[in-house]
Amino acid sequence: MRLAHRLLISHALLTAALLGAAAFSVVAIVRMTSLLTEVREEQLGGVIKEEAVHQAAWAVEVATRHGLFACEHNAQGVSAAADTLRQRLANLDALLTLHGASTQPLLLRAAQGYQTYARHILAGNTCERLQNAALRNERLFLAEQLTDAWINTTLALHSAIRQREKRAHDIGSSAIAVGITLGGLAVVAAWAVARWVAQGVTRPLGQLSALAHRVGDGNFAPLPEVSGPREIRNLWADLDRMRGRLSELDQLKDAFVASASHDLRTPLARLRTAIGLLADGTAGPLTAQQQRVVELARVACEREIRLVTALLDLTRVQAGKTVRRDEGCRLDDLIERAVEEVSELAEEKGTELVVIAEGTTPPASLDAALVERSLVSLMTNAVRVSAPGQRVYVTRTLSPQGPDGRPGTWARVEVRDEGPGVPADARPRVFEPFFTRAVGAANADGLGLGLPLAQRMMRALGGDVLLLENANPGARFALVLPLGRGVPATTTPETTARRSDR
The residue-averaged pLDDT of 324-337 equals 83
Report all structural domains of the chain as residue ranges with CATH numbers, in order of start: 3-189 (1.20.120), 230-315 (1.10.287.130), 324-500 (3.30.565.10)
Largest CA distance in the chain: 176
Give bridge partners of residue 407 from the DSSP assignment.
Answer: 401
Whether the Cβ atoms of residue 186 and residue 18 lie closer than 8 Å to each other: yes
- Nearest 5 degrees, angle CA 473-CA 477-CA 482? 150
The residue-averaged pLDDT of 103-110 equals 84
Tell whether the model's pLDDT for residue 269 goes beyond 50: yes
Tell whether the model's pLDDT for residue 438 goes beyond 60: yes
The whole-chain average pLDDT of the chain stands at 79
Tell whether the model's pLDDT for residue 128 goes beyond 50: yes
The residue-averaged pLDDT of 148-165 equals 79
Share of the chain above pLDDT 70, in %: 81
pLDDT at 44: 62
* Confidence class for position 351, pLDDT limits 50, 70, 90: very high
Tell whether the model's pLDDT for residue 3 goes beyond 70: no
The residue-averaged pLDDT of 72-100 equals 85
Q: How far apart are CA 2 and CA 165, in angstroms?
A: 52
Q: How far apart are CA 35 and CA 61, in angstroms?
A: 37
* Confidence class for position 106, pLDDT limits 50, 70, 90: confident
**Choice between 6 and 492, residue whose per-residue pLDDT is larger:** 6
pLDDT at 5: 63
pLDDT at 352: 92
**Choice between 63 and 28, residue whose per-residue pLDDT is larger:** 63
pLDDT at 393: 94
Which stretch, 44-48, 359-363, 475-479, has highest mean pLDDT? 475-479
The residue-averaged pLDDT of 268-278 equals 83
pLDDT at 355: 93
Tell whether the model's pLDDT for residue 39 goes beyond 60: no
For residue range 388-397, what is the model confidence (pLDDT) as tens digits?
999 999 999 9
* Confidence class for position 442, pLDDT limits 50, 70, 90: low
Whether the Cβ atoms of residue 392 and residue 417 lie closer than 8 Å to each other: yes
Which bin fits 62, alpha (ψ -120 to 50), beta or left (φ > 0)? alpha
The residue-averaged pLDDT of 104-110 equals 85
Q: How many CA atoms lie within 13 A of 111 on its CB side?
A: 30
Q: What does DSSP assign to residue 122?
A: H
* Confidence class for position 498, pLDDT limits 50, 70, 90: very low
Share of the chain above pLDDT 90, in %: 8
Question: 3-class SS at 495?
Answer: strand
Give bridge partners of residue 354 from the DSSP assignment.
Answer: 393, 499
In this predicted structure, which of 88-92, 159-163, 248-252, 442-446 has the lowest mean pLDDT? 442-446
SS (H, E, C) 260-325: HHHHHHHHHHHHHHHHHHHHHCCCCCCCHHHHHHHHHHHHHHHHHHHHHHHHHHHHHHHCCCCCCC
pLDDT at 502: 36
**Choice between 374 and 259, residue whose per-residue pLDDT is larger:** 374
pLDDT at 435: 76
* Confidence class for position 290, pLDDT limits 50, 70, 90: confident
* Helix (H), strand (E) at residue 497: strand 490-500
CB burial string 234-244: b at 16+ within 10 A, e below: ebbeebbeebe
* Confidence class for position 353, pLDDT limits 50, 70, 90: very high
Choose among 422, 431, 461: nearest CA to 449: 431
For residue range 392-414, what is the model confidence (pLDDT) as tens digits?
999 999 888 777 777 788 899 99
